[in-house]
């Protein structure tokens, strides 16, 4: 039965398939005899990267599945992509800003590279109350993933890096690209120069810091992508103390902070002393459905300094001025609108909707007797398939139920045996996914 | 006399002054005794950067001038920032896209990291006719300056780099940040690891390639920022042959291509064989007044490969997927609208208006007996003050006429003795600037 009414049925756009498959998979360009090669060597760092970036790779598998099964009614619970419309009050502000650019009074050229002052102040006041974070410590940008790379650019080449295992792949991949990851050890799937902080369910996916070696940089994401778990006050205090004792810098990714429902901290800067040891990267993407609008920010506290006492904020500012040129003024108008009381309430309702989706999916897997984690403080659930390969599970779910997930091992070797299931989606898709999963795994 | 009617009178926004001065100049954070220093070393590369990035530095001097002379009627011919409203047809498309995000049918999340297929195709078809450039070779982005850094990230750490001298500072500064510039030689103002291709007026600011050492990468901007000169067919053929003979990659910056009025090439890909040796970075900023909207693109031809035959486009795609996440879908809707026949005509009219400004300024300096270059194919003119320091000339013009320019040496040691004058501005400002300059230099 081909159900036309299900708006979750996503047939990958033909327009996108072609370039993505061309670059990531097709060997035509690679195998073609090239008439002229430059004498520019390929970077060993780029060569060290494992396969394609995770999410385009999943997209390719989706597309192949659709090619083989053109009538499949695909449900995408893979890439964590928002699906619900943005409240009018926010898009009206963006439309108004766009239209103002056609007027003599409203036209604006380059804005400050760091972001509009009103937005920086609003972020500090609305999202960092009682933390001491000030507007001039907020750097507005076009995306959290972009900010991760910009931060990597300002670091000394040989700094050492730790990541949660599993973790969002951009931390590791950007470390590889900047040459600080060492060699890939095929047997473990780990880069020799990176410290992998194993995150196990027994400790709510918080790493054992007593056995973690010192590194210069600690990437730490909470609520965590992919495990869906948020670190507690006690755990984040431990993390800040650990960084302080080791002289490390924490790069704290709080992109999912708005999904926290219990009393877990929403920002690392709620922990006393964190301004001396951490930067925080966050985003409007999942808070406001801005995945396509592109707007994010990074907090770099004035208190944070290198070993020689030089403030990190000055180097970050230099990078932002040299390697970036500010976020779109239209997106920034939207970001400012998001932070009004009325808009924020509407956004909370949408996040509430996604949380109900999460509960449906959590209950589905739990009722099938599976071990499932996350979901309370994040729009992701993390399902354990002990002893199985996560790519095999991904493939089985895709082939048997036409549902796209993310194989846990894509987030690091510690994700093997798990899949991540996103609860972004229209309710009817989530219910349909639940039905298919119950039918298949019953 | 305080003329309220002159809309060119720009008093720097208080909101912007504070963060920019805080980071770039204030020593408060630097001098403060920090309670805790991390043990993370500051990057030697960041330490090697000369002072602040040029344009924020100019903004600081402007602000200081306004602090000392609060009633000065400043005319900004410094940073090349567009001033004329964007045609309705373009902002309407952006407003419509913004509003569509509030609808179930129109909502869109993540787009392809490489840009919307329709925009990529339109750029290839409208701006690269008869060059063989295809849509899948176009990577849409948030800015040309951002693309320069992204390209730097994919290069091997030890590749060698050449820049025009003078040139847009982001090429050199991003090379310093990525550690491929060597040490700054204080006596010459040059980085030891960078080849400076001296560009003299006698050869229309095209470098003498017969004395230029081989490098892996050649940054080349035409129409040139800052000299305002466009390379001829003959010169670009030479450049492509030079790159081919040396196995180099040209990074061709054509951000001002739409300002060409004579028959100079608008793209490096108009030169036969260029697809094997060049990428091209370009932008909607000066074409469409999108300096604040943020939209640009980079062409990476399938034919371009490293010494081992591996296609550069595959690494560029990996960088775009890992370190970037696509340009704003609203900005992209605007970019697509720009390329309709009607909109492009309206944009051409605005560029024509800026070109008339250029002519007024060219005539002004020429009538004062000064040597002045550029202007025909670019919105910049390049004025020679032989034997003088360009910062001194910058300061003199600012203090005596309240006009902001850019000191030539900010673009490299080859710019010493020159200032760059931008012709972006409202007509009344340009006429007023002309009057002040004629009065002062008569």
* Interface touch B174/A323, C-beta < 8 Å: yes
Name chain B contacts of A16, Cβ cutoff 8 Å. 112, 117
Q: Which of B21, B54, B330, B349 to mutate to test the interface with A (most CBs of A within 10 A)?
A: B330
Distance CA B320, CA A170 (A): 12
Q: Which residues of chain B have pLDDT under 50?
A: 1-33
Report pLDDT for A67.
97
Taking the alpha carbons at both ends of chain B, their separation in whole angstroms is: 22
Distance CA B146, CA B381 (A): 25
Distance CA B376, CA B355 (A): 8
Chains A, B: CB contacts under 8 A, how many?
410
* Interface touch B39/A248, C-beta < 8 Å: yes
Q: Does A50 touch chain B (CB under 8 A)?
A: no
Question: Could you say which residues from 107 to 126 on chain B have a Cβ atom under 8 Å away from some Cβ of chain A?
Answer: 107-114, 116-118, 120
Measure B173 CA to nearest chain A CA, in Å. 7
Distance CA A122, CA A340 (A): 9
* Interface touch A91/B102, C-beta < 8 Å: yes
Name chain A contacts of B141, Cβ cutoff 8 Å. none
**Cα dihedral across residues B87, B91, B93, B94: positive or negative:** positive
ipTM of this complex = 0.93
The position carrying tokens 């491929």 is: B180
* Interface touch A42/B306, C-beta < 8 Å: yes
CA distances for A81 relative to A305, B108, B121, B237, B331, angstroms: 35, 9, 25, 46, 19
Q: What digits encode the pLDDT tens for the residues B112-142?
A: 999 999 999 999 999 999 999 999 999 999 9
Name chain A contacts of B317, Cβ cutoff 8 Å. 19, 23-24
Report pLDDT for A53.
74
Angle between helices B329-338 and B117-127 (to 10 degrees): 30
Name chain A contacts of B248, Cβ cutoff 8 Å. 38-40
Q: Does A104 touch chain B (CB under 8 A)?
A: yes
Residue A194, φ and ψ in degrees, nearest 5:
-110, 140
Q: Are the beta carbons of B164 and B187 closer than 8 angstroms?
A: no
Name chain B contacts of A216, Cβ cutoff 8 Å. 38-41
Residues 6 or more apart whose CB falls under 8 angstroms from that of B202 comprise none
Q: Which of B24, B86, B154 sits opposite A102 (nearest CB)?
A: B86
- Per the DSSP assignment, residues forming a β-bridge with A384 are A371, A418
Name chain B contacts of A179, Cβ cutoff 8 Å. 157
Measure A204 CA to nearest chain B CA, in Å. 28
* Interface touch B34/A303, C-beta < 8 Å: yes
Q: Are the beta carbons of B137 and B358 closer than 8 angstroms?
A: no
Give the closest residue to A253 by CA, choosing from A159, A320, A172. Answer: A172
Q: Are the beta carbons of A123 and A266 closer than 8 angstroms?
A: no
Q: Does B186 touch chain A (CB under 8 A)?
A: no
Name chain A contacts of B91, Cβ cutoff 8 Å. 98-99, 101-102
Distance CA A257, CA A255 (A): 6
Q: Are the beta carbons of B390 and B361 closer than 8 angstroms?
A: no
Q: Are the beta carbons of B108 and B269 closer than 8 angstroms?
A: no
* Interface touch A91/B112, C-beta < 8 Å: no
Q: Which of B294, B319, B429 to mutate to test the interface with A (most CBs of A within 10 A)?
A: B294
- Strand, coil or helix: B298: strand
Distance CA B16, CA B256 (A): 27
Report pLDDT for A12.
34
Q: What digits encode the pLDDT tens for the residues B58-106?
A: 999 999 999 999 999 999 999 999 999 999 999 999 999 999 999 999 9
Give the length of chain A: 442
Question: Could you say which residues from 123 to 142 on chain B have a Cβ atom under 8 Å away from some Cβ of chain A?
Answer: 135-136, 142
Question: Could you say which residues from 51 to 80 on chain A have a Cβ atom under 8 Å away from some Cβ of chain B?
Answer: 52-53, 55-56, 79
Pairing mode, strands B278-283 and B296-299 = antiparallel
Question: Could you say which residues from 291 to 330 on chain A have a Cβ atom under 8 Å away from some Cβ of chain B?
Answer: 291-294, 302-311, 313-315, 317-319, 321-330
Q: Which of A44, A99, A317 sits opposite B95 (nearest CB)?
A: A99
Residue A58, φ and ψ in degrees, nearest 5:
-65, -40
Distance CA A90, CA A334 (A): 5
Mean per-residue pLDDT of chain B: 92
HSE, CB side, 13 Å, CA atoms: give it for residue A222: 26
What DSSP letter does each residue of B38-77 carry, written as one string? -SPPBPHHHHHS-SS-HHHHHHHHHHHHHHH-TT---EE-
Report pLDDT for A34.
52
The rounded Cα A116 to chain-centroid distance in angstroms is 24
Domains annotated on chain B, with CATH: 14-31+39-85+344-441 (3.90.1150.10), 89-341 (3.40.640.10)
Q: Does B272 touch chain A (CB under 8 A)?
A: no
The position carrying tokens 């995000």 is: B101
**Cα dihedral across residues A377, A378, A379, A385: positive or negative:** negative
Q: Does A370 touch chain B (CB under 8 A)?
A: no
- In the 8-state DSSP scheme, what is residue B276? G
* Angle at alpha carbon of residue A163, lines to A243 and A168, rounded to 5°: 130
Q: Are the beta carbons of A107 and B83 closer than 8 angstroms?
A: yes
Give the closest residue to A19 by CA, choosing from B112, B300, B301, B335. Answer: B112
Q: Are the beta carbons of A326 and B146 closer than 8 angstroms?
A: no
Name chain A contacts of B326, Cβ cutoff 8 Å. 292, 294
Q: Are the beta carbons of A143 and A296 closer than 8 angstroms?
A: yes
Q: Does B160 touch chain A (CB under 8 A)?
A: no
Q: Which of A16, A52, A142, A303 to mutate to test the interface with B (most CBs of B within 10 A)?
A: A142
Q: Which of A39, A45, A322 sits opposite B174 (nearest CB)?
A: A322
pLDDT in 10s for each residue of chain A, 442 residues: 333 334 444 333 332 323 333 333 344 444 444 579 999 999 999 999 987 678 888 999 999 999 999 999 999 999 999 999 999 999 999 999 999 999 999 999 999 999 999 999 999 999 999 999 999 999 999 999 999 999 999 999 999 999 999 999 999 999 999 999 999 998 999 999 999 999 999 999 999 999 999 999 999 999 999 999 999 999 999 999 999 999 999 999 999 999 999 999 999 999 999 999 999 999 999 999 999 999 999 999 999 999 999 999 999 999 999 999 999 999 999 999 999 999 999 999 999 999 999 999 999 999 999 999 999 999 999 999 999 999 999 999 999 999 999 999 999 999 999 999 999 999 999 999 999 999 999 8
- Strand, coil or helix: A438: helix
Q: Which of B56, B57, B109, B337 to mutate to test the interface with A (most CBs of A within 10 A)?
A: B109
Report pLDDT for B14.
32
């Amino acid at each position: 039965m081909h159900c036309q009414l299900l708006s979750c049925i996503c047939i990958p756009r033909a327009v996108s398939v072609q370039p993505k498959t061309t670059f990531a998979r097709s060997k035509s360009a690679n195998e073609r005899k090239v008439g002229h090669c430059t004498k520019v060597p390929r970077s060993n760092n780029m060569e060290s990267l494992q396969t394609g970036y995770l999410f385009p790779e999943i997209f390719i598998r989706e597309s192949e599945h659709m090619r083989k099964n053109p009538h499949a009614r695909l449900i995408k619970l893979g890439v964590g992509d928002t699906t619900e419309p943005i409240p009018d009050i926010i898009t009206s502000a963006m439309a108004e800003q766009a239209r103002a650019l056609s007027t003599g009074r409203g036209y604006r050229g380059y804005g400050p590279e760091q972001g509009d002052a009103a937005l920086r102040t609003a972020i500090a006041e609305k999202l960092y109350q009682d933390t001491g974070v000030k507007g001039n410590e907020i750097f507005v940008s076009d995306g959290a993933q972009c900010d991760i790379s910009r931060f990597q650019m300002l670091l000394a080449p040989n700094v050492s890096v730790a990541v949660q295992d599993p973790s969002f792949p951009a931390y590791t991949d950007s470390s590889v690209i900047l040459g600080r990851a060492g060699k890939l050890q095929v047997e473990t799937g780990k880069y020799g120069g990176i410290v992998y902080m194993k995150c196990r369910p027994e400790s709510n996916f918080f790493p054992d810091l007593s056995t973690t070696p010192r590194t210069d940089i600690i990437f730490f994401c909470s609520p965590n992508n992919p495990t869906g778990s948020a670190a507690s006050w006690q755990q984040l205090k431990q993390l800040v103390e650990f960084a302080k004792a080791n002289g490390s810098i924490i790069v704290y990714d709080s992109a999912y902070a708005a999904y926290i429902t219990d009393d877990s901290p929403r920002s690392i800067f709620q922990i006393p002393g964190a301004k001396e040891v951490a930067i925080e990267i966050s985003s409007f993407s999942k808070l406001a459905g801005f995945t396509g609008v592109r707007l994010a920010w990074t907090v770099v506290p004035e208190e944070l300094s290198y070993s020689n006492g030089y403030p990190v904020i000055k180097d970050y500012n230099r990078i932002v001025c040299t390697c970036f040129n500010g976020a779109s003024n239209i997106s920034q108008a939207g970001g400012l609108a998001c932070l009004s009381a009325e808009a924020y309430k509407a956004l909370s309702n949408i996040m509430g909707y996604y949380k109900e989706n999460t509960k449906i999916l959590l209950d589905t897997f739990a009722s099938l007797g599976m071990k499932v984690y996350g979901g309370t403080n994040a729009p992701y659930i993390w399902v354990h398939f002990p002893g199985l390969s996560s790519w095999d599970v991904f493939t089985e779910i895709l082939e048997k139920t036409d549902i796209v997930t993310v194989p846990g091992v894509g987030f690091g070797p510690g994700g093997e045996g798990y899949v991540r299931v996103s609860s972004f989606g229209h309710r009817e898709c989530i219910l349909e996914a639940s039905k298919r999963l119950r039918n298949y795994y019953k």
